[in-house]
């Protein structure tokens, strides 16, 4: 795929609702989703667990060509193997009895007598019964997810989404800000994919925003702080993960906001630290290059995580912040 196409693809994906936008407002879509989550939640399966799995499925469908894309309020879809049972010879089995016989997990959620893998109520009810198998605790939630998704990274991503929903108590999390307050002097160019300026072997996976020491570095989105500490290349660096399977990486800070720590949920605008020139040496190394913020964005598709160009997003967020700060 050409880079231009990827950029367009991601800009499109970042909206997450472009298809239905004309028919339904964003508010209505989120409300409809929330209704499903609340309807099928119970004491052992809180709404944000259902919401997190559903959102994860939506995220991976948007960036994977091997997965059918499910439109409508519920993106969640089960593999046929899990739904009807691995050894079930009837791949489109809709009988609760025979599915149960073959250890399939499909259930009849709307009591219409058939177990329909395409029906949102059946799918949500099945997810609830699947998740409540062991009772409510984060450890159990993780082990059930591991059984279905197999990958540790997928489990981590879903638990992250659940944590953000739980803390914010809403699905309305579309707000974004520019990583630096736009009142400051700074400059940046689209240098994604070029050779690294500062001695690295890999291509440059991000955008460098040049600014003075001490300019605040902010969370651009709602996210969980996944790492915060020293890395020999990145210096004082911090990474946050959001509800769209996006990992955002900030490097070369002069220091961190002491009020933020790993595992915290941050909001757009939360100060994470300050622009600096740390890195390229042992802990504390600083001043080997001009102060700047290295800003990277990565997408996880359920199998791998890859870097994409933050530049077009930075432009959009910058323009929006400039408008609102006037
Ligand atoms: Zn950089």
Higher model confidence: residue 205 or residue 191?
Answer: 205
Q: Cite the DSSP H helix spans in 41-137.
A: 47-63, 80-84, 96-101, 120-131
Q: Are residues 49 and 164 in the same domain?
A: yes
Q: Find the 155 Cα to ligand 1 centroid distance in Å.
A: 29
Share of the chain above pLDDT 70, in %: 90
Q: Find the 221 Cα to ligand 1 centroid distance in Å.
A: 20
Q: Find the 268 Cα to ligand 1 centroid distance in Å.
A: 21
Q: Are residues 26 and 152 in the same domain?
A: yes
Q: What is the pLDDT of residues 119-131, one digit of tens each?
A: 999 999 999 999 9
Q: Are residues 154 and 211 in the same domain?
A: no
Higher model confidence: residue 195 or residue 146?
Answer: 146
Q: Find the 301 Cα to ligand 1 centroid distance in Å.
A: 24
- Which of 66-80, 209-223, 258-272 is the least confident region? 66-80
Residue 202: the pLDDT is 66
Q: Find the 114 Cα to ligand 1 centroid distance in Å.
A: 55
Q: Do the beta carbons of residue 310 and residue 249 sit within 8 Å? A: no
Q: Find the 198 Cα to ligand 1 centroid distance in Å.
A: 8
Q: Are residues 149 and 232 in the same domain?
A: no
Q: Domain for residue 7, yes or no?
A: no
Helix (H, G, I), strand (E, B) or coil at 239: strand
Structural domain tally of the chain? 2
- Once rounded to an integer, what is the mean pLDDT over residues 10-18? 48
- Once rounded to an integer, what is the mean pLDDT over residues 236-263? 98
Q: Domain for residue 146, yes or no?
A: yes
Q: Do the beta carbons of residue 191 and residue 200 sit within 8 Å? A: no
* Length reported for the chain: 326
Q: What is the pLDDT of residues 264-300, one digit of tens each?
A: 999 999 999 999 999 999 999 999 999 999 999 999 9
Residue 41: the pLDDT is 95
Higher model confidence: residue 248 or residue 326?
Answer: 248
Select from 237, 239, 204 the least CA-distant residue to 220.
Answer: 239
Q: Are residues 241 and 299 in the same domain?
A: yes
pLDDT higher than 90, residue 256: yes
pLDDT higher than 50, residue 12: no
Instruction: Supply the range of the domain harboring residue 231.
Output: 186-325
pLDDT higher than 50, residue 193: yes
The Cα 61–Cα 54 span in angstroms is 11
Residue 201: the pLDDT is 56
Q: Domain for residue 5, yes or no?
A: no
Q: Are residues 98 and 210 in the same domain?
A: no
pTM: 0.90
pLDDT higher than 50, residue 1: no
Q: Find the 179 Cα to ligand 1 centroid distance in Å.
A: 14
């Amino acid at each position: 795929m050409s880079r231009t196409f990827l950029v367009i693809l991601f800009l499109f994906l970042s909206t997450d609702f472009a298809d239905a936008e004309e028919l339904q407002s964003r508010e209505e879509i989120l409300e409809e989703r929330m209704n499903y989550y609340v309807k099928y939640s119970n004491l052992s399966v809180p709404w944000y667990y259902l919401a997190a799995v559903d959102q994860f499925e939506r995220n991976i469908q948007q960036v994977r060509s091997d997965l059918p894309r499910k439109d409508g309020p519920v993106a969640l879809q089960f593999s046929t193997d899990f739904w009807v049972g691995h050894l079930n010879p009837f791949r489109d089995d809709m009988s609760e009895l025979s599915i149960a016989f073959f250890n399939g997990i499909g259930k009849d959620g709307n009591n219409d007598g058939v177990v329909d893998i395409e029906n949102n109520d059946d799918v949500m009810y099945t997810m609830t019964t699947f998740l409540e198998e062991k009772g409510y605790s984060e450890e159990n939630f993780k082990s059930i997810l591991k059984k279905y998704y197999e990958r540790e990274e997928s489990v981590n991503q879903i638990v992250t989404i659940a944590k953000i929903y739980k803390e914010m108590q809403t699905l309305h999390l579309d707000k974004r800000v520019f990583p630096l307050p736009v009142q400051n002097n700074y400059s940046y160019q689209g240098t994604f994919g070029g050779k690294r300026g500062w001695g690295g072997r890999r291509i440059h996976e991000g955008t460098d925003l040049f600014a003075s020491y001490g300019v605040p570095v902010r969370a651009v989105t709602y996210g969980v702080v996944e790492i915060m500490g020293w890395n020999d290349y990145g210096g004082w660096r911090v990474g946050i993960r959001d509800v769209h399977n996006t990992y955002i990486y900030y490097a070369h800070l002069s220091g961190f906001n002491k009020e933020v720590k790993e595992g915290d949920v941050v909001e757009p605008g939360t100060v994470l630290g300050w622009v600096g020139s740390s890195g390229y040496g042992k802990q504390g190394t600083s001043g080997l290059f001009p102060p700047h913020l290295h800003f990277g964005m990565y997408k996880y598709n359920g199998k791998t995580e890859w870097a994409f160009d933050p530049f077009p997003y930075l432009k959009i967020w910058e323009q929006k912040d400039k408008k609102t700060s006037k």
